[in-house]
Amino acid sequence: MTNYSLLGSWVRRFLLDYLVGERNLSINTRSSYRDMLVQLLSYVATKLKKPVDRLEVVALSAPAVRQFLLYLEQDRHCTTATRNQRLGGLHALAKFIGENSSEHLEWCTQIRLIPFKKATQANITYLNKPEMDALLAAPDRPQALTTMDKAAD
């Protein structure tokens, strides 16, 4: 009989049934979610001094998740975008568990209330007209080398 308070069966169903079967997400997205869970479960298990296979759903409390996100930024030097990506995967897990287990609705709500951080976006720079003209007027390097080789003969 499956113990629905333990996290292991939920993680398995999330990775195999939900991400693959229902959502048909790409292999890269599934790998990203899997890697996030490996990091998170290892982090929480270490903090609670429990084996990973004995962690319960509620062990991933909102304060524990916030500490994990802080750990990613400060200790692992991850960018805000990486932090938000990990949090997005965790929100997806919380939504999945909440939809399938009414006893975990409060937990799901607490996890999904953790906000994403605002991240600065890189400015997209464009070439101005003189720069574009200079780029287009530049000789084709392989062709220029061939012409120079012929001149040397």
For residues 57-73, give the mean pLDDT.
95
Least Cα distance to 57 among 42, 78, 41, 33 occurs for 41
Instruction: Report DSSP state, residue 55.
Output: -
Q: DSSP 3-state assignment of 56?
A: strand
pLDDT at 1: 44
Tokens of 3: 């113990």
Task: Give dist(CA 47, CA 16) in Å, integer.
Answer: 27
Give dist(CA 106, CA 60) in Å, integer.
12
pTM: 0.75
Determine which of 50-59, 109-118, 129-138 has the lowest per-residue pLDDT on average. Answer: 129-138
In this model, does residue 69 exceed pLDDT 50?
Answer: yes
- Candidates 57, 76, 64; CA nearest to 114 is 64
Q: Any idea where the domains of the chain sit in the sequence? A: 7-112
Burial 88-102 (b: 16+ CB within 10 A, else e): ebbbbbbebbbeeee
The yes-or-no verdict on residue 99 having pLDDT over 50 is yes
d(CA 8, CA 11): 5
Could you give the count of Cα atoms lying within 13 Å of 135 in the half-sphere of its Cβ? 7
CA 64, CA 66: separation in Å to the nearest integer? 5
